[in-house]
């Protein structure tokens, strides 16, 4: 009688269909991954505010260089003229004017038929003791840093909801999670941006919209020098003058040194968020950001206060 050989070689034949299925399935999954990456890298229609200088200018260049249709917006359109050579379309926008926000978004949608990414980058920092800063200046910071962002976001949301897709990237700061000395009003706006973005992310998830926070630490730009000058100016002749001058001098020293991060770290984070299929809710980046936020979380409040008041 012929013997039936159930050796390893024979069992390989039995498992061949399963192996073939595994190979085919793996190949299909790899194709899906490639298609997903290609889809994510497809040209997007992007609006970025504060594009006339600094991180906004560099981010507009970077995103246009990736083949996206980028609209750079700012009050001073002439400062964006050089962006045209990189394929960026400059638009006039005053984020403190709600009608200007609506008109800008409508113009882009009329031209392109959609808006895929909104990058709320416009903002500024004005330091000074809470008592010294005039409430008009404090309200102006909120108008630019928070309410301008809100107006533009509200203008964009109906179109993104209709598309059932979109990404809103809000440029915050590690200063939305910790408070540095003599920067109370600025930090109040950034804490508000964090809360605004967290609420927006939960509300818009059902419509396929991503909401992302970029939280830079110390970045080597003119921002620190401008904030330091505002601090010294606001304290002249007042009770906080000596302290403000010391902190202002320290800020100038820090931002003139080599410890701050290159602005490219912010540009790269924005690019990752734009191109990711599922971007992270937060990108905490740049000099000091992660250790300071961690320290704020674990240290007793008075100890952290001591560190911050003696940092400059």
Given a cut of 50, is residue 19 above it in pLDDT? Answer: no
pLDDT band at residue 1, thresholds of 50, 70 and 90?
A: very low
Query: Shortest CA distance to 278 belongs to which of 210, 213, 215?
Result: 210
Given a cut of 80, is residue 310 above it in pLDDT? Answer: yes
Q: What is the pLDDT of residue 41?
A: 58
Q: Which residue has the tokens 């002749």?
A: 237
Q: What is the pLDDT of residue 222?
A: 87
Q: Domain 49-309 maps to which CATH number in 3.40.50.720, 3.40.50.300, 3.90.1150.10, 1.10.357.10?
A: 3.40.50.720
Q: Which residue has the tokens 């709320």?
A: 120
pLDDT digit string, tens, across residues 94-115: 999 999 999 999 999 999 999 9
Q: How far apart are CA 145 and CA 195, in angstroms?
A: 13
pLDDT digit string, tens, across residues 60-69: 999 999 999 9
Given a cut of 70, is residue 27 above it in pLDDT? Answer: no
* Distance between first and last Cα of the chain: 94
114: left (phi over 0), alpha (psi -120 to 50) or beta: beta
* Residues 295 and 54 sit within 8 Å (Cβ to Cβ): no
pLDDT digit string, tens, across residues 222-244: 899 999 999 999 999 999 999 99
pLDDT band at residue 42, thresholds of 50, 70 and 90?
A: confident
Secondary structure (H, E, C), the chain: CCCCCCCHHHHHHHHHHHHHHHHHHHHHHHHHHHHHHHHHCCCCEEEEECCCCHHHHHHHHHHHHCCCEEEEEECCHHHHHHHHHHCCEEEECCCCCHHHHHHHHHHHHHHHCCCCEEEECCCCCCCCCCCCCCHHHHHHHHHHHHHHHHHHHHHHHHHHHHHCCEEEEEECCHHHCCCCCCCHHHHHHHHHHHHHHHHHHHHHHHHCEEEEEEEECEECCCHHHHHHHHHHHHCCCCCCHHHHHHHHHHHHHHHHCCCCECCHHHHHHHHHHHHCCCCCCEEEECECHHHHHHHHHHCCHHHHHHHHHCCC
Q: Average pLDDT for residues 77-81, to the nearest whole number?
A: 96
What are the residue ranges spanned by the domains of the chain?
49-309
Given a cut of 60, is residue 185 above it in pLDDT? Answer: yes
Q: What is the pLDDT of residue 20?
A: 45
**21 among known catalytic residues:** no
Catalytic residue among 57, 71, 127, 186: 186
């Amino acid at each position: 009688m012929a013997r039936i050989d159930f050796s390893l070689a024979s069992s390989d034949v039995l498992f061949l269909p399963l192996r073939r299925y595994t190979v085919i399935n793996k190949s299909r999954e790899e194709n899906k991954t490639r298609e997903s990456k290609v889809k994510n890298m497809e040209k997007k229609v992007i609006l970025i505010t504060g594009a006339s200088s600094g991180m906004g200018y560099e981010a507009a260049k970077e995103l246009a260089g990736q083949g996206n249709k980028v609209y750079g917006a700012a009050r001073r359109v002439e400062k964006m003229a050089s962006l045209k050579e990189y394929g960026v379309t400059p638009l006039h926008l005053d984020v403190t004017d709600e009608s200007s926000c609506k008109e800008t978004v409508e113009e882009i949608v009329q031209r392109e038929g959609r808006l895929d990414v909104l990058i709320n980058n416009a903002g500024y920092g004005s330091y000074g003791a809470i008592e010294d800063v005039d409430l008009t200046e404090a309200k102006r910071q909120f108008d630019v840093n928070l309410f301008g962002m809100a107006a533009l976001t509200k203008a964009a949301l109906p179109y993104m909801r209709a598309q059932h897709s979109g990404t809103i990237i809000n440029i915050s700061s590690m200063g939305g999670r910790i408070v540095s000395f003599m920067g109370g009003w600025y930090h109040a706006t950034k804490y508000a941006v964090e809360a605004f973005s967290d609420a927006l992310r939960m509300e818009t998830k059902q419509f396929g919209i991503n909401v992302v926070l970029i939280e830079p630490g110390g970045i080597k730009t003119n921002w620190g020098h401008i904030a330091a000058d505002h601090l010294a100016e606001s304290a002249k002749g007042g009770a906080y003058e000596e302290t403000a001058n010391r902190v202002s001098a320290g800020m100038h020293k820090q931002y003139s040194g080599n410890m701050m991060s290159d602005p490219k770290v912010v540009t790269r984070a924005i690019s990752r968020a734009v191109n990711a299929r599922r971007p992270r809710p937060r990108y905490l980046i740049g000099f000091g950001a992660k250790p300071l936020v961690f320290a704020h979380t674990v240290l007793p409040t008075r100890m952290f206060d001591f560190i911050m008041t003696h940092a400059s």
